[in-house]
């Protein structure tokens, strides 16, 4: 099986430079010459692939690929970081993904809170938080649940199991399609097509994107994360533009099924309600956040610890994260990029997470 698959992946040539240059040539041939074409992706991993493999250098000068709000850590509002810090200060053990640790709250990050004595622990999976809570029943544990639809099902499964009584959740999950819709309302962005995120789509399937081609006349292609996947998606989109069509296509059919993952969707539906949510740098978006259902409220850390921060300080003076997050400017157009704001000493959330646009660009520029 392994040998067969390795032979097969060789045959698929996911990173083949010759195939890349063949596709790039076709992209150049089909890209309209008389105007700027701007495609937007909404996934930090896509930004990594595009930057790491230098894919922008293969595209015509008038074809831009911009990064939308695709980093789930970057868009967690400061108020929700503040809540996690408050919970830790009340004596609970706060568990979170490593990326979340250094994201700035209104005054400090979870890492700084840890340095001051709070018990904050990094986990690889929500399951680790469950195990920690089981082995230490005398302590309260909180899982700070950050992530898009790719991550939310795992939180849902553990919340429904049910979890140990000494574990509760601060749910900061967000949904991608409402953020994509928001971008279309930003007048001067003028997006001509969406590269939809492959691993979010592995869960939600194709249906939630249907409105983009149908209502907004926006070519939309779900793409995988190898360089050939991304180039192929761009090619499929310029092809649609040249035909004057706008349809939803699935380049990542090897992972993304039209129906997504029904079991994951079922778990999410049972555990969460969809509600309005704040996004750092963007503001409040309707139907874009998940919150635990009323039946699970005893596992809601907001209620268990009586914390609710209505408003936080999302963007520090001089930081342009709010413009980077929506693709309005490139990281190197922020005056702080790699001067006052570096991966070692990040000012804005986009420089913290390995999927933040500024962080991805910092690695490429060093």
Residues found near other proteins in the complex (CB under 8 A): 1-2, 4-5, 8-9, 11-12, 22-23, 26, 29-30, 43-45, 70-73, 97, 99, 124-128, 146-148, 150-151, 153-154, 157, 197, 199-200, 202-203, 224, 228, 232, 235-236, 239, 251-257, 261, 263-264, 267, 353, 355
Going by C-alpha positions, the residue among 234, 219, 281, 282 that lies closest to residue 28 is: 234
> In sequence order, which residues have a C-beta less than 8 Å from that of residue 244 and are 6 or more positions away?
none
Question: Of the two residues 148 and 299, which places its CB atom closer to other proteins in the complex?
Answer: 148
Q: How far is the CB of 92 from other proteins (least distance, A)?
A: 21
The dihedral sign for the CA sequence 337, 341, 342, 347: negative
Q: How far is the CB of 23 from other proteins (least distance, A)?
A: 7
Q: How far is the CB of 6 from other proteins (least distance, A)?
A: 10
Question: Of the two residues 75 and 336, which places its CB atom closer to other proteins in the complex?
Answer: 75
Question: Of the two residues 41 and 114, which places its CB atom closer to other proteins in the complex?
Answer: 41
Q: How far apart are CA 159 and CA 171, in angstroms?
A: 11
Q: How far is the CB of 124 from other proteins (least distance, A)?
A: 6
Question: Of the two residues 148 and 212, which places its CB atom closer to other proteins in the complex?
Answer: 148
Question: Of the two residues 250 and 362, which places its CB atom closer to other proteins in the complex?
Answer: 250
Q: How far is the CB of 231 from other proteins (least distance, A)?
A: 10
Q: How far is the CB of 140 from other proteins (least distance, A)?
A: 22
Question: Of the two residues 13 and 107, which places its CB atom closer to other proteins in the complex?
Answer: 13
Question: Of the two residues 9 and 298, which places its CB atom closer to other proteins in the complex?
Answer: 9
Q: How far is the CB of 272 from other proteins (least distance, A)?
A: 15
Beta strand 193-197 with 37-41 is parallel
* Phi/psi at 291 (5° precision): -135, 150
- Tokens representing 267 are 């778990």
Q: How far apart are CA 322 and CA 358, in angstroms?
A: 12
Q: Kindly report the CA angle at 303 between 103 and 297, in degrees rounded to 5?
A: 105
Q: How far apart are CA 194 and CA 39, in angstroms?
A: 6
Q: How far is the CB of 343 from other proteins (least distance, A)?
A: 16
Q: How far apart are CA 349 and CA 77, in angstroms?
A: 10
How buried is 289 (Cβ within 10 angstroms: 0-12 exposed, 13-18 middle, 19+ buried)? Answer: buried
- Three-state DSSP state, 302: helix
Q: How far apart are CA 39 and CA 47, in angstroms?
A: 12
Question: Of the two residues 255 and 274, which places its CB atom closer to other proteins in the complex?
Answer: 255
Q: How far is the CB of 9 from other proteins (least distance, A)?
A: 7
Question: Of the two residues 97 and 305, which places its CB atom closer to other proteins in the complex?
Answer: 97
Going by C-alpha positions, the residue among 53, 54, 48 that lies closest to residue 67 is: 48
Q: How far apart are CA 208 and CA 231, in angstroms?
A: 23
Cα separation values, 209 from 63, 226, 275, Å: 22, 21, 19
């Amino acid at each position: 099986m392994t040998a067969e698959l390795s032979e097969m992946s060789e045959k698929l040539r996911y990173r083949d430079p010759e195939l890349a240059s063949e596709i790039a040539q076709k992209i150049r041939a089909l890209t309209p010459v008389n105007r700027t074409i701007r495609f937007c992706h909404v996934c930090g991993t896509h930004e990594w692939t595009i930057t790491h493999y230098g894919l922008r250098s293969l595209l015509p000068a008038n074809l831009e690929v911009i990064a939308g709000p695709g980093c789930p850590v970057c868009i967690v509002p400061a108020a929700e970081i503040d809540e996690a810090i408050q919970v830790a200060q009340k004596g609970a053990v706060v568990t979170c993904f490593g990326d979340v640790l250094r994201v700035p709250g209104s005054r400090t990050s979870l890492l700084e809170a840890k340095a001051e004595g709070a018990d904050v622990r990094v986990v690889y999976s929500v399951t680790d938080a469950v195990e920690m809570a089981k082995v230490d029943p005398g302590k309260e544990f909180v899982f700070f649940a950050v992530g898009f639809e790719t991550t939310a099902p795992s939180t849902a499964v553990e919340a429904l199991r049910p979890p140990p009584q000494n574990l509760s959740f601060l749910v900061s999950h967000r949904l991608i399609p409402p953020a994509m819709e928001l971008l279309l309302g930003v007048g001067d962005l003028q997006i001509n097509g969406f590269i939809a995120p492959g691993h979010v789509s592995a869960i939600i399937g194709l249906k939630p994107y249907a409105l983009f081609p149908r209502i907004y006349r926006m070519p939309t292609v779900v793409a995988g994360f190898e360089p050939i996947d991304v180039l192929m998606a761009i090619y499929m989109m310029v092809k649609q533009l040249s035909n004057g069509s706008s349809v939803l296509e699935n380049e990542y059919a090897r992972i993304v099924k039209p129906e997504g993952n029904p079991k994951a969707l079922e778990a999410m539906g049972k555990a969460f309600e969809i509600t309005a949510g704040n996004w750092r740098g963007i503001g409040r978006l309707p139907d874009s956040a998940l919150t635990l259902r009323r039946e699970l409220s005893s596992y809601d850390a907001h209620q268990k610890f009586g914390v609710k921060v209505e408003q936080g300080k999302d963007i520090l003076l001089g930081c342009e994260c709010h413009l980077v997050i929506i693709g309005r400017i490139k990281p190197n157009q922020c005056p702080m990029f790699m001067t006052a704001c570096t991966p070692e000493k990040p000012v804005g959330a986009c420089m913290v997470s390995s999927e933040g646009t500024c962080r991805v660009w910092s690695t490429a520029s060093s």
